[in-house]
Structure 1
Amino acid sequence: MSVVTGCASCGDERAAGAAFCESCGRTLATGTPPAAGADCPACGTTDAVGADGYCGHCGRLVVRPRDHAETAVATVAAAVTDRGLRHHRNEDAMWLAARDADVDAVVCDGVSASFDPDIASEVAVEAAGRVLASGVPADSPGGLAARVGAAIAVAGAAVAALASTGDPRRAASNPACTIVAACVRGREIGYGWVGDSRAYWIPDEGDAEQLTEDDSWAAHAIGLGIDPRAAAVDPRAHAITAWLGADAGPVEPHTATLRPEQPGLLVLCSDGLWNYLSDPVEFAATVRGAVRKESDLLRAARALTALANERGGADNITVVLVPIN
């Protein structure tokens, strides 16, 4: 998510400088400002990075505002997205809106093999977020899950349209991304996804649950009976089988509804985090540990992001934490 001065979802300029937009409820992310005066990692010139993020010697863009962004609403929800250590840009994007205890969240992960994957993820979260914030009644046909499905469909159309902007590079390699989204109303959670960005339910007590099933070669192979350990280490394991983009063909988002019987934590994340915590038991233990240790949602999200970077930071990282009381 790039830094916004007004509300990028509904356009309300009154949101400038505020923690959230009073019109649509979106929480506004803050980015890490460029490290003015830092050394340039490209050419090695000392004290070369200006306030605009560019090296004054070689001209390379060293730091982007989107490299790290985070947002939180007190005890209601928190989210962090980070470039990681290996990628030259952050191709993940996030969207978060909260009104009282009602929360809408979207996480998208750009497909690096496509052209402009960072644009694809940004366009997708904005498009899906606008639908979730539109105020469609939860008791409409299909309920919250249908609302999330509609949001993903709109996001898919918006990403597919990027291939028709006249840029031959986009036409040749359509911008693409994955998506996971959730709509929380009280103890009811509607969620949906396309690709391998995930949602987890971590109750205060008891076993955690991975709510989503990856659209990936590994998941498909396991479904056909291949040993999960063999599938996980296969070179094709993380190849996705569904995504948003002009070359994705007809996409039917997976949707479902969860009505937990006890308090817990809803987590949305990109594979930049769960790749380091692929077992749901380990994932839950790590998230619970971060939340208990930090006793603050945003600090917990930062700690999980830092963990992924400590373990290699091989991909962009995004995590959203939503307590359900």
Structure 2
Amino acid sequence: MKKFNVAILGATGMVGQEMIKILEERDFPISNLRPLASKNSSGKKILFCDKQYTVEEANENSFKNIDIVLGAVGNGLSKMLMPYAVKEGAIVIDNSSAYRLDDDVPLIIPEINEEDLKNHKGIISNPNCSTIIALVALNKLNEFSKINRIIVSTYQAVSGAGIGGINELKEQIEDLSKGITPKTNFFQYQIAYNLIPQIGSFVEDGYTQEEMKMQNEGRKILHNEELRVNCTCVRVPVFRSHSESITIETEKEISVDMAKKLLKRAEGIKLVDDKNELKYPMPLETSNQDLVYVGRIRKDISKDNSLSLWCCGDQIRKGAATNAVQIAEALITEGLV
């Protein structure tokens, strides 16, 4: 099998480290790994497949002889460096939101719209973590009957904000256990034993940037410009794995039994739905793995042709790193790299 030279931009960050872990887990065909990061992280050592690699400072000359770049940095650095990677002939799979809504950049969840990869022009975008988790849960239902409207509330773990979010929750819990007033530096309010109903800056009509991603990205991925989404995003004091409460309105009715049948055989899904045994998805059970767990499936008693469900997924893995690696695998399978 042909092997590829792969660069990880942001290799020392949470998602970058997870990408490296998943590449090894999935036995990705790598000839050489090039870990890239900021000047502060250059020189650090990374172990991959029993071989030690030195982190290099990322710059415009970092992408020579690279086939695939997995990006795990913010919008600014992505916008600055990714064009150099494309110029060198690499294919970029970018985890930032910098290119997601660009018309000439495919936005990919392999279980849903892998065929869009053929339209790439050097850059492919990874969707937002909550979008990935929700749409994996909904895809087979949408194929059975087109979804016209989604109402969703997300309960997003602190790890979705990076290592700083995890550290702040840990420190606040420890301080509170000692009777010390906790410091709030990373989030806008105390997150320990609290909920913060704002993720991202506020935009039009009182929604936040994070909330609008679900509609804007969902329309592109599902090829449905008429899709309407009402989303509320909440940061919760959970370390890992996002949860989502979702209600969908479909063109034709989907019974609960049919929904369960569709989801039971859906790729990337684990159906966990048994009210008699109190079985339903929870963050603890979905962390550190790649399936989206779906349960609490029931008719929306307030409207016809409407279903409600609950889902959970690891946003660092399937919501970010794993989805990016799956895109790279799909490129290889389709002969596009």
| TM-score between the two structures when normalised by the length of structure 2 | 0.28
Tell me which protein shows more helix as a share of its residues: 2
Larger-gyration structure (1/2): 2
| TM-score between the two structures when normalised by the length of structure 1 | 0.28
